[in-house]
Amino acid sequence: MSDRAPALIRVRGLSHTYEPGAGEPVPALRGVDLDVHRGECIALIGGNGSGKSTLAKHLNALLLPTAGEVIVDGLDTRDRDAVWAVRQRVGMIFEHPDDQLIAAVVEEDVAFGCENLGLPPTEIRSRVDEALRTVGLEALRRRPPHLLSGGQKQRVAIAGVLAMRPRCLVLDEATSMLDPAGQREVMETVLRLRDEGLALVLITHSMEEAALADRVVVLAGGTVALSGTPSDVFARDDVLRRLRLEAPPIVALARGLAAAGVPLPPGLLTAPQLADAVAAAYRRGRGGA
């Protein structure tokens, strides 16, 4: 879109081929184009091995392109001198909360990244305070991380990234090992950050989570197979199935009800939306009877 501010992250013609010691080279990405804008949540979905994690690692220069380019806030990830600036701008959160927490108490853990940036102690302190406040964990700042719940651990990891003042947060299946309460906790936290202007790239196998994004990008065999709003993408049931995906249960339920003649508006994605629409149909039905 030409009327939009320039993309925060611009991926063009990105290809990545792994050269494992044993076996054939693996072409994991083949010519991916993607723009990530400020304040936008992109859900990146796709079958196992479709290249999601590989793409994620290119967004903060953990991997470098075999071909094509990744430009983060004007910085080319191939530029060796820009690597730390890129990593400061794009923070990553992975699946296992335990592997990411290293310090003895929460606040030290949150400070860790800032210390690596070489910031003065007073600055670090104020950033840590702010980050803990943002994720709602000030009260737990002196706790050892291993005594926290899974959702709290992931929020500590998010706070550690936030303290580095990133422009984009990449979550690679960050909720997949959490209980439902923890999943909700993390999703609410990151969507709030999105509302404050942070860009989010959310890699997930939960179609319910993907439905909460602004835009869904589907990878298949290392290329972008489909992209659009959640309601557009999840309406393409046939394509999704071919790509080893499916619509969220609520979308499938809404479709089933509409097919049975219940008057529902299009584009229902969440349980509250569907419940509201069905309740309205119910009241209309009773009013008319």
Ligand X SMILES: Nc1ncnc2c1ncn2[C@@H]1O[C@H](COP(=O)(O)OP(=O)(O)OP(=O)(O)O)[C@@H](O)[C@H]1O
Considering only 158, 159, 173, 224, the residue that binds another protein (CB under 8 A) is: 173
Please name every residue paired with 76 in a beta bridge, in sequence order, or none if there are none. Answer: 71
One character per residue 215-254, x = contact with another protein (rule: CB under 8 A): --------------------------x--xxx-xxx-xx-
What SS3 class is residue 164? coil
Binding status of residue 180 toward another protein by CB under 8 A: yes
One character per residue 114-153, x = contact with another protein (rule: CB under 8 A): -----------------------------------xxx--
Residue 137 or 157: the one with the smaller Cβ distance to Mg ion is 157
Report the C-alpha gap between 131 and 123 in whole angstroms.
12
Considering only 5, 23, 196, 288, the residue that binds another protein (CB under 8 A) is: 23
Binding status of residue 221 toward ligand X by CB under 6 A: no
Residue 166 or 182: the one with the smaller Cβ distance to another protein is 182
Count of residues in contact with another protein, rule CB under 8 A = 53
First to last CA, the chain: 49
Binding status of residue 262 toward another protein by CB under 8 A: yes
Count of residues in contact with Mg ion, rule CB under 5 A = 2
- Residue pair 26/20 in contact (Cβ under 8 Å)? The answer is yes
Strand 26-36 relative to strand 9-18: parallel, antiparallel, unpaired? antiparallel
Subset of residues 23 to 62 that bind Mg ion, contact rule: CB under 5 A? 52-53
Subset of residues 43 to 82 that bind ligand X, contact rule: CB under 6 A? 46, 48-54
For residue 154, give the nearest of 196, 116, 115, 182 by alpha carbon: 182
Considering only 18, 112, 227, 236, the residue that binds another protein (CB under 8 A) is: 18
Sole residue written with tokens 């990133």: 166
Phi, psi of 225, deg, nearest 5: -95, -25
257 binds, among Mg ion, ligand X, another protein, none (CB under 5 to 8 A by kind): another protein
Residue 55 or 274: the one with the smaller Cβ distance to Mg ion is 55
Report the C-alpha gap between 205 and 49 in whole angstroms.
12
Task: Locate all alpha helices (DSSP H) within 228-270, ordered by sequence.
Answer: 230-234, 237-242, 249-259
Residues 6+ apart with CB under 8 A from 277: 254, 264, 265, 268
Report the C-alpha gap between 271 and 253 in whole angstroms.
10
**What's the token pair of residue 223?**
């290329």
Helices 150-162 and 106-117 cross at an angle (nearest 10°) of 30
What residues make contact with another protein under the rule CB under 8 A?
18, 20-23, 26, 46-49, 53, 95-96, 149-151, 173, 176-184, 205, 207-208, 241, 244-246, 248-250, 252-253, 256-257, 260, 262, 271-272, 274-276, 278-279, 281-283, 285
What residues make contact with Mg ion under the rule CB under 5 A?
52-53
